[in-house]
Structure 1
Amino acid sequence: MIWLKKQFQPVDNAPLVLFRIVFGFLIFAESFGAIMTGWVRRVFIEPEFTFTLIGFNWLQPPDDNYSMYIYFGLMATCGIGVMLGLYYRASLATFTLLWTCVYWMQKSSYNNHYYFLILLCLFMLVVPAHAYASLDAKRKNAVISTTCPRWCINIFIFQMWIVYTFAAIHKFYPGWVSGEFIAMNFASKTDYWLIGNALGQEWLQKAVVYGGIVFDGLIVYFLLFKKTRVPAFIISIVFHLFNSFVFQIGIFPYLMIGLAVFFFEPESVRRIFFKSKPIVNYDEFPLPKLGSRSLATCFVMIVYFSFQFYLPLRHHLYKGDVFYTEEGHRLAWRMMLRYKSGNVKYNITSSDSTWVVKPRDFLTRKQSSAMPGKPDMVWQFAQYLDKKYKKEGFGDVEVRAEGYARLNGEPIYKLVDETVDLSAIRWQSLKHADWILTPDK
Structure 2
Amino acid sequence: YVVAGIAKLNADWLLRGEPLGMWLAARGDRPLVGSLFDLPLTPLVASWAGAIFDLTIVGWLVWRRSRPWAYVAVVVFHLSTAALFQIGLFPWAMMALTPVFFAPSWPERMLRRIGVVVPRPPQADAPTTPTWVRRAALGLVVVNLVVPLRHYAYAGDVTENEAGYYGSLRVMLTEKTGTARFLVTDPTTDQAWTVAPGDYFEPWQVGQLASRRDLLITAAHVVAAEARADGHPRVEVRADAWVSINGRQRRRLVDPALDLAALERRPR
State the TM-score, normalizing by the size of structure 1: 0.57
Q: Distance in 2 between matches of 1:175 and 1:251?
A: 26
Q: For 1:237 and 1:285, locate their aligned partners in 2 and report how far apart those are by CA, in whole Å.
A: 36
Aligned to 1:49: none
1:306: which partner in 2?
142
**Between the two proteins, what is the percent identity of the paired residues?**
29
Query: Who is 2:206 aligned against?
Result: 368
Q: CA deviation at 1:280?
A: 5.1
Letter of the 1:235 partner, please give it: A
Structure 1, unpaired ranges of 5+: 1-163, 431-441
Once structures 1 and 2 are overlaid, which stretch shifts more, 309-318 or 210-219?
309-318
Q: CA offsets per residue over residues 377-399 of structure 1, 9 Å max, x none?
A: 00000111111211222111111
Contact 1:348 1:400 (C-alpha < 8 Å) held by counterparts:
yes
**1:180 Cα deviation from its structure 2 partner:** 2.6
How many residues end up aligned between the 2 structures? 262
Task: Measure the CA separation in 1 of the matches of 2:245 and 2:99.
Answer: 38
Task: Report if the CA contact (8 A) 2:214-2:266 is conserved.
Answer: no
Distance 1:241 1:367, change over 3 A: same
Q: 1:330 aligns with which of 147, 166, 188?
A: 166
For the Cα contact (< 8 Å) 1:349–1:397, is it kept in 2? yes
Tell me, yes or no, if the aligned pair for 1:313 and 1:332 is still in contact at 8 Å.
yes
Hey, what does 2:71 align to over in structure 1? 233
- Cα deviation, residue 225, structure 1: 1.4
Q: Which amino acid aligns with 1:365?
A: P
Q: Could you tell me the TM-score, scaled by structure 2's length?
A: 0.91
- Matched with 1:248 is 86
Q: Which has the higher helix share?
A: 1
Q: Deviations over 1:242-269 (max 9, x none)?
A: 1111113223212211212222233332
Output aligned runs, 1:163-312, within 5 Å: 164-178=1-15, 179-273=17-111, 275-279=116-120, 284-290=123-129, 294-312=130-148
Alignment-mate amino acid for residue 200 of structure 1: D
Cα separation, 2, equivalents of 1:303 and 1:420: 41
SS at match of 1:343: strand
Of 120, 129, 152, the match for 1:316: 152
> In the TM superposition, what are the counterparts of 1:33-432 in structure 2 within 5 Å?
164-178=1-15, 179-273=17-111, 275-279=116-120, 284-290=123-129, 294-350=130-186, 351-352=188-189, 353-429=191-267
Q: Which AA in structure 2 matches 1:172?
A: L
1:386-424 per-residue CA deviation (whole Å, 9 max, x = no partner) reads 112112221111111121111112121111012221111
Cα-Cα RMSD: 1.8
Report the AA paired with residue 177 of structure 1. Answer: L
Q: Which amino acid aligns with 2:159?
A: F
Alpha-carbon shift at residue 185 of structure 1 (Å): 1.0
Q: 2-side partners of 1:229 and 1:301: how far apart?
A: 25
